[in-house]
Amino acid sequence: MARTPGQAARRDPDWEGVRLHVVSGKGGTGKTTVAAALALALAAEGRRTLLIEVEGRQGIAELFGIAALPYEERRIATVTPAQLGLPASGSAGGSASGTPGGSVSGELHALAIDTEQALLEYLDMFYKLGRAGKALQKVGFVDFATTIAPGVRDVLLTGKACEAARRKGPDGRRTYDAVVMDAPPTGRITRFLNVNSEVAGLARIGPIHSQAQAVMRVLKSPETAVHLVTLLEEMPVQETVDGIAELREAGLPVGGVLVNMVRPPLLDAAAVAAVDGDHREEVALALGEAGLGGRSRKPETVRAAVEPLLDPLLAQAREHAERVELERARRADLQHLKLPTYELPLLGEGVDLGTLYRLAGELKRQGAA
Amino acid sequence: MSGRTGTTGQSGAGAGGSRLAVDELIDNPKTRIIVCCGSGGVGKTTTAAAIGLRAAERGRKVVVLTIDPARRLAQSMGLTELDNTPRIVKGVTGDGELQAMMLDMKRTFDEVVLAHADPERARAIMENPFYQSLSAGFAGTQEYMAMEKLGQLRAAEEWDLIVVDTPPSRSALDFLDAPNRLGSFLDGKVIRILTAPAKVGGRSAMKFLNAGMGLLTGTLGKIFGAQLLTDVQTFVSATDSMFGGFRERADRTYQLLQAPGTAFLVVAAPERDALREAAYFVDRLAADRMPLAGLVLNRVHGTGAPQLTAERALAAAEALEENGSEQVSPDAELLAAGLLRLHAERMQVMVRERRTRDRFVSVYPDVPIVEVAALPGDVHDLEGLRTIGERLSGSAD
């Protein structure tokens, strides 16, 4: 099911009908980057998406090179199909504004949720706390509340995402076409989303309890998909496989697998074996011809100059082939999951805005958005 | 550790930043605790295991305390599973000994309760729904229990070196904050107000606190339901005497970490985000006056042909692909071009890694560094851990 980068033609999106995309993954797999790229991709064609961050790290601000985000939804980028390297599409059913010339620009909004403020906002909604809210804050109430029941924190975070995903404007249309949540890592994701059972044992009645149930209904509905980001390495793949089993057991809707930082195979094992064996002299000649043997015209001199390069180059090729082989095995493990799988290329030099748009285009082409 | 491609190069620190002497550290009998910290996905657990194995094979009696439930690590040490009790690792050579265990936070918490309360009271505590939630999910329970376990292991005096792999916390050193956090939670105003009537009992205290109480318990009750409040109150009054001991021990463990027998190793990979986290750890350790031994930089790439730059390799690859040749078959040309492109990629990775590393060194010139060459695959057995250990100590090449 894997679609390799670049080669697949543009196709129909796989997640039509999904409003809330939850993106998780093992630490170090580039979860935040992939979540941002997905949100951008979903915003293409004149749509409006919201990217939510819940761990207070200001990862979105850093990624987009903007000042730290307050606890407030704000537009952080616009996106056109052309920016994602896609042909402009005529049928854009989105809510953002069109630009002259037929190209429709979509909007990416972002929100960094602050637990304390979310709890107070939530209490205020129910109890009209007013000044009492400040007093509660002063005595460390929020700390206390989220400490004695860690599930409460999760309910607030997921609750905010669900609310945004379902919110409607005065015109009766959804405020956002899609909401993408940069969620906690794979090891904690099921617990994080399974707020109902977390809170149920503690708060058996009361608004937190009913809030948890309402959130759970959205999370378990077909409007939600939980995607996992992985690398083609043993541990992340293993965590992905385990994480998906856990999500399924908890009855949470499993989305797709996003394979990040994929490197193109430059040489395979067969090629390396060939270089190692009969072709060694020929390769040495080729390197000499390519000008790596110095300026001498004497074949012996050139050959001798090339010699110190041969073994290191071959050793690197063997390592590369070994890695390609391991990656093949990991890819096979992922295929067993029988889930839509997307591959994003490794783009050297860290991630900047340009690479984010490239990754978003890749996701769009492969049907993730 | 999962490798981001292997290397042909040498390990060890380059220019700038002194070299972290791992063998000196683990051979020194005064080193009693080594704490490995760092962000997730940088090979922290594997580093802890490799250091433990190397120290054991150099004659020390070692226990590795890991938080990582990865089965792979247990398997690499020949254990079918890791649990809350140290198990002997077989196949270790030399006079030393290696044991390994994985923190089970719930069980560790239960042990603490059992050790500090009579059986009947202990049962009452363990049956309390609030305790059950606290022991399994309290923000920081894992960190706190890791501290608790470390204190226990150290007090047992059974091992002469304890290697700890810290939990992959979101906020870098929750491990250090744990005793404080629990303390401030229990000393917190809210809990004092909640439990004050039970403690003081007097009418005047009640009166004084009434206004605050009403607002708080009212709000808490509304949010969580009155049941939870009762559970919390019961729990706090049942554990009141116990928590004093708890906190004292956590404070002692904290002081133990600051003592000269402890060494912190910050583990990172030569990537921007990982090194940014590492910088945070270094700052935080300094602020807490914790003894930092140095930085372990995992998955560093090298090459046996540093004289061939990426630019020349790429130009040569293009020349081969475009011009062809009379002497060499097209197959060999493509192979040679492939080798050159691979080399160019490697050189580019190395330049990037070096730049990232140098940025760290220029800010933290006094932090000793050891670079560990990347392995092409994952570690599956003691031999793999041994290889990492050799690379850590710089004796691999």
pLDDT at position A31, please? Answer: 93
Contact A316 B303 (CB under 8 A): yes
Mean of the per-residue pLDDT values of chain B? 81
- Asked whether residue A164 falls in the same domain as residue A307, the answer is no
- Asked whether residue A242 falls in the same domain as residue A278, the answer is no
The whole-number average pLDDT for the span B58-71 is: 86
The whole-number average pLDDT for the span B227-239 is: 74
User: Which has the higher per-residue pLDDT, A318 or B262?
Assistant: B262
- Asked whether residue A120 falls in the same domain as residue A218, the answer is yes
Query: By mean pLDDT, which of A113-117, A196-200, B324-328 is the weakest?
Result: A196-200
Q: What is the pLDDT of residues A341-366, one digit of tens each?
A: 999 998 866 678 899 999 999 999 99
- Name the residue range of residue B131's domain: 22-308+343-393
B5 touches chain A (CB under 8 A): yes
The whole-number average pLDDT for the span A123-138 is: 67
The whole-number average pLDDT for the span B164-174 is: 69
- Asked whether residue A235 falls in the same domain as residue A276, the answer is no
Per-residue pLDDT at A7 exceeds 60:
no
Contact B220 A147 (CB under 8 A): no
pLDDT at position B36, please? Answer: 93
- Chain A environment of B308 (Cβ under 8 Å): 292, 309
Q: Is B326 domain-assigned?
A: no
What's phi and psi for A291, nearest 5 deg?
95, 15
Task: Tell me which residue in A57, A203, A349 faces B228 most closely, judged by beta carbons.
Answer: A203
Per-residue pLDDT at A252 exceeds 80:
yes
Per-residue pLDDT at A127 exceeds 90:
no
Predicted confidence band of residue A281 (pLDDT cuts 50, 70, 90)? confident
Dihedral over Cα of A277, A281, A283, A287: its sign:
positive
Q: Is B172 domain-assigned?
A: yes
Burial degree of B180 (CB within 10 A; 0-12, 13-18, 19+): middle
- Asked whether residue A304 falls in the same domain as residue A219, the answer is no
Q: What is the CATH number for B385?
A: 3.40.50.300
Distances (CA, A) of A295 to A257, A288, A302, A303, B298: 51, 10, 8, 12, 40
Per-residue pLDDT at A243 exceeds 50:
yes
Q: What is the per-residue DSSP string for B90-109?
A: TT--SS-EEEEEE--HHHHH
Per-residue pLDDT at B303 exceeds 90:
yes
User: How many distinct structural domains can be found in chain B?
Assistant: 1
The CA distance from A304 to the nearest CA of chain B, in Å, is 15
Q: Provide the 8-state DSSP code for A290.
A: I
B3 touches chain A (CB under 8 A): yes
Q: Is B160 domain-assigned?
A: yes
pLDDT at position A104, please? Answer: 80
Task: Tell me which residue in A26, A233, A286 faces B320 most closely, judged by beta carbons.
Answer: A286
User: How many distinct structural domains can be found in chain A?
Assistant: 2
pLDDT at position B169, please? Answer: 61
- Name the residue range of residue A277's domain: 269-321
Task: Tell me which residue in B188, B222, B304 faces A311 most closely, judged by beta carbons.
Answer: B304
A27 touches chain B (CB under 8 A): yes
Residue of A nearest to B137 (CA): A150
Per-residue pLDDT at A91 exceeds 70:
no
Give the mutation candidate from A116, A268, A319 for the B interface (greatest B CB count, under 10 A): A319
Q: Is A326 domain-assigned?
A: no
Q: Best-predicted range by mean pLDDT among A27-31, A68-72, B163-167?
A: A68-72
Per-residue pLDDT at A5 exceeds 50:
no
The whole-number average pLDDT for the span A266-293 is: 79
Q: Is B54 domain-assigned?
A: yes
pLDDT at position B53, please? Answer: 97
Per-residue pLDDT at B386 exceeds 80:
yes
Q: What is the pLDDT of residues A31-51, one digit of tens each?
A: 999 999 999 999 998 999 999
Q: Is B325 domain-assigned?
A: no
The whole-number average pLDDT for the span A102-122 is: 83
Percentages of chain B per state (helix, strand, coil), in multiples of 5: 60, 10, 30
What's phi and psi for A204, nearest 5 deg?
-85, -20
Q: What is the CATH number for A223?
A: 3.40.50.300
Q: Which residues, numbered 139 to 158 in chain B, qualify as contacts with chain A under a Cβ-Cβ cut-off of 8 Å?
A: 139
B130 touches chain A (CB under 8 A): yes
Predicted confidence band of residue A115 (pLDDT cuts 50, 70, 90)? confident
Q: How far apart are CA B252 and CA B153, in angstroms?
A: 13
pTM of the model: 0.82
- Chain B environment of A317 (Cβ under 8 Å): 338-339, 342
Task: Tell me which residue in A207, A286, A349 faces B336 most closely, judged by beta carbons.
Answer: A286
Q: What is the interface pTM, i.e. ipTM, of the complex?
A: 0.78
Task: Tell me which residue in B42, B223, B348 faces A207 most closely, judged by beta carbons.
Answer: B223
A290 touches chain B (CB under 8 A): yes
Contact B335 A275 (CB under 8 A): yes
Contact B352 A203 (CB under 8 A): no
The whole-number average pLDDT for the span B358-381 is: 91
pLDDT at position B188, please? Answer: 63
The whole-number average pLDDT for the span A137-166 is: 77
CB pairs under 8 A between A and B: 229
Q: Is B315 domain-assigned?
A: no
Predicted confidence band of residue B74 (pLDDT cuts 50, 70, 90)? confident
A222 touches chain B (CB under 8 A): no
Q: Is B320 domain-assigned?
A: no
- Asked whether residue A208 falls in the same domain as residue A232, the answer is yes
Q: Is B268 domain-assigned?
A: yes
Torsion of CA A362, A363, A367, A369, to 10 degrees: -140
A292 touches chain B (CB under 8 A): yes
- Asked whether residue A248 falls in the same domain as residue A102, the answer is yes
User: Which has the higher per-residue pLDDT, B113 or B286?
Assistant: B286
Predicted confidence band of residue A146 (pLDDT cuts 50, 70, 90)? low
The CA distance from B192 to the nearest CA of chain A, in Å, is 10
Phi-psi map region of B133: left, alpha, beta (phi>0 left; psi -120 to 50 alpha): alpha
Which amino acid type is present at position B145? Answer: M
A291 touches chain B (CB under 8 A): yes
- Chain B environment of A191 (Cβ under 8 Å): 137
